[in-house]
Amino acid sequence: MSVRLHARLAAHRESVSRTLTEAAGEDVVRRLWEKDHTLWKPDPEEIADRLGWLRTAETMREQTGALEDFRERVLGSGIEQVLLLGMGGSSLAPELFSRIFAAGSGGEAVAGGEVAAGLPVGVLDSTHPEEVARREEQLPLEQTLFIVSSKSGGTVETLSLFKYFHRLLTGRLGREVAGTRFVAITDPGSHLQELGSELGFRHIFLNDPEIGGRYSALSLFGLVPAALSGVHLDPLLDRAVEAAGDCAAAVEPGTNPGLELGAILGTLAMEGRDKLTLTASEGISAFAPWVEQLIAESTGKAGKGILPVVGEPLGPPELYGPDRLFVDLALPGDESRAEMLDALAGAGHPVVRMELADAYDLGSQFFLWEFATAVAGWRMGIQPFDQPNVEAAKVQAREMLARYREEGALPESGPLTADGGMALYATASDLGRGGDEDPARTPPSVAEGLQCFIDQAEGGRYLSLQAYLPRRAVYEDALTRLQEKLRDLTGCAVTWGWGPRYLHSTGQLHKGDAGRGLFIQVTSRHEVDLPIPDEPDTDDSSVSFGVLVHSQALGDRQALHQAGRQVIRLHLEEDGESTLQALSVMY
């Protein structure tokens, strides 16, 4: 068996056992493999054509030679760097591969697995103008290969980034040569396929259209950048195929790890343990954000959901309420979290631990979590392959941009209060203070307004920090500290994510779950701004990256309000780094 799963479920063991018995009675595993949409819904829409991931590892083994040949041709062409432009399902697996299997000289060991000679592969999944400018400055632009990755071919962030970099390269190299610096990964018949053909892309990879974005790690969306990173594809896919065998219909329910993990996730979520706290060995920690999207976007709908909590340092058992499930992934010999996990299990918290042989076991983990998510959807009575609420924020952002093009400004009222280099944007109901007629609705300071908002975090609620900031280490450190401190202060789960990336990840859950979230957007003024070309070959520009990222923050705030959620925006007006660090120290 490729997956070794050790579960300590305390009071939930009997209910999970009943779920496994029910799954056997309903023939869940066989029906899943046969792509029986009635496991989840009577309507096959966005189910019957979203189950290609079940056999993608097996089919992709036929293409590993071609992908590794592609890597060798790129290495021999003078390319020094790869930058993937994508969002959500198109970016999280490539980022995982680039972080865990860093490109190195032949035979370098990474997290216990060998890698081939490869290229540095970066991922740009931000529309913040300072982040785009930083990446541009770091690149040897004329020796960079850009991967434009989008299943639909119409993702606004991805196309905006593509137009920006294509215009830069056209100015330096001319249109014909510029096209050879781009590769597309997309579905057949998409706008991106047409665009790539028109502009002379080096290669256009067409993926299986029956694989949804968040289930695409072992398809071309994950494996093209993985191959360029130096990942040996055969062992990765072999482990995935072995995991698929472990989860086959002929396997007894009690020994099927995908069924067992799915039963645990779904059963405990229905019993109130809907905060999935993920921990992992440092060498494979980048796997957690991929799981975060898979679980959040798949289960957060119809008033239900499982909230993945990523990056939170473990604390003593008394810090946690009865809404937590802990899952730990460990490399051999890593016992750094064992004592704390034992303490949590001893206090009655459910704890699942899996040990990986090496980093290539992530192949089995991809399949395991995908299978388990499908099973959890069955247990919870939800459809795990669509994302009905993701479009809400996109619609609002498009409306904001349309207003900007017409009026030259985005629609937004002034802050509720401002001081200390920060401005607080909120309504009275966001702060739990009643209607606009309430004379006490305006807090005298940003700190008091923020505290008023945080005081509402209790009884199974959660806080979500949404950072529309450039991805600087200083911001990441401050947000992680703030996550831990707010957890300790409130006893609630606290998550954080980069905007607008989270819109393609946890954004579905934020609007589709039971509505227990409290959302804090963090924005800052832009030191620089960059125009987005209206077309790849023109200097004409009707919006900038600064306008786009601000419209996305405003659009998501409006979508959250329309879904009945409470959300505030904290704007860092002056020195954003110092202000955010001071805020993290304040708590």
Instruction: Give the model confidence (pLDDT) of 503-527 as tens digits.
Output: 999 999 999 999 999 999 999 988 8
pLDDT confidence of residue 3:
78
State pLDDT tens for residues 375-398.
999 999 999 999 999 888 889 999
- Residue 442 clears pLDDT 90, i.e. is over it: no
Measure CA 250 to chain center.
33
Residue percentage of the chain with pLDDT more than 70: 96
List the beta bridge partners of residue 87: none
Tokens of 72: 């060798």
Return d(Cα 441, Cα 518) in angstroms, integer: 18
pLDDT range class, residue 103, cuts 50, 70, 90: very low
Q: Write the DSSP symbol of residue 316.
A: -
Task: Please give the pLDDT value at position 438.
Answer: 55
Residue count of the chain, please give it.
Answer: 587
Q: Write down the CATH superfamily of domain 5-28+252-380.
A: Glucose-6-phosphate isomerase like protein; domain 1 (3.40.50.10490)
pLDDT at position 113 = 55
Is residue 440 scored above 60 in pLDDT?
no
Assigned token pair, 332: 């051999």
| Cα-based distances in Å from 465 to 301, 358, 529 | 20, 33, 24
Question: Tokens standing for 565?
Answer: 């959620």
pLDDT in tens, 3-35: 789 999 999 999 999 999 999 999 999 999 999
Residue 414: count of CB within 10 angstroms of its CB: 8
When the pLDDT of each residue in the chain is averaged and rounded to a whole number, the result is 93
DSSP, collapsed to helix, strand or coil, labels residue 161 as helix
pLDDT at residue 106, rounded to an integer: 33
| Biggest CA-to-CA distance, the chain | 70
- Residue range 213-266, pLDDT digits in tens: 999 999 999 999 999 999 999 999 999 999 999 999 999 988 999 999 999 999
Asked if the model's pLDDT at residue 539 lies above 60, the reply is: yes
Sequence ranges of the domains in the chain: 5-28+252-380, 56-237, 390-586
| Separation CA 551–CA 556 (nearest Å) | 8
Contacts of 474 (CB under 8 A, 6+ apart): 577, 580, 581
pLDDT at 195: 97
Measured CA to CA in angstroms, residue 317 lies from 157, 282, 345, 351, 576 at distances of 41, 22, 9, 12, 34
Report residue 104 CA to chain centroid gap: 26
Question: How wide is the angle at C-alpha 103 spanned by C-alphas 312 and 166, nearest 5°?
Answer: 95
DSSP letters along 557-581, please? HHHHHHTT-EEEEEEE-S-HHHHHH
* Coil/strand/helix, residue 531: strand
- For residue 114, what pLDDT band results from cuts at 50, 70 and 90? low
pLDDT the model gives residue 444: 83
Q: Is 267 within 8 Å of 12 (Cβ atoms)? A: yes
Question: CA 384: distance to chain centroid?
Answer: 16
- The domain 56-237 belongs to what CATH superfamily? Glucose-6-phosphate isomerase like protein; domain 1 (3.40.50.10490)
State the pLDDT at residue 264.
98
Homologous superfamily of 390-586:
Glucose-6-phosphate isomerase like protein; domain 1 (3.40.50.10490)
- Asked whether this chain's domains 56-237 and 390-586 adopt the same fold, the reply is yes
Q: Which two tokens stand for residue 290?
A: 């991929």
Band of residue 435 on the pLDDT scale cut at 50, 70, 90: low
Is the pLDDT at 105 greater than 70, yes or no? no
SS3 state at 146? strand
Separation between Cα atoms, residue 294 and residue 537, nearest integer Å: 36
Over range 477-502, report the average pLDDT: 96
Residues 6+ apart with CB under 8 A from 230: 71, 101, 102, 103, 104, 115, 116, 117, 118, 119
Q: Which helix (H) or strand (E) holds 546?
A: helix 545-562
Phi, psi of 87 (to 5 degrees): -140, 145
pLDDT digits (tens, 9 = 90+) for 140-162: 999 999 999 999 999 999 999 99
Whether residue 280 is predicted with pLDDT greater than 60 in this model: the reply is: yes
Quick one: which of 28, 492, 564, 561 has its CA closest to 303? 564
| pLDDT at residue 104, rounded to an integer | 38
The reported pLDDT for the residue numbered 225 is 98
**Strand ordering across the sheet containing 493-498:** 417-419, 422-425, 566-572, 517-524, 462-468, 493-498
| Spatial separation of the C-alpha atoms in residues 374 and 389, rounded to whole Å | 19
Closest CA to 537 of 154, 169, 190: 169
Q: Give the model's pLDDT for residue 439.
A: 46
Kindly tell me if the per-residue pLDDT of 346 is higher than 90.
Answer: yes
**pLDDT value at 451 more than 90:** yes
Residue 403 has pLDDT above 80, yes or no: yes
Strands across the sheet containing 351-355: 5-8, 351-355, 324-330, 275-280, 307-310
Mean pLDDT of 311-328: 96
State yes or no: pLDDT of 107 exceeds 70. no
Res. 181 pLDDT band, cuts 50 70 90: very high
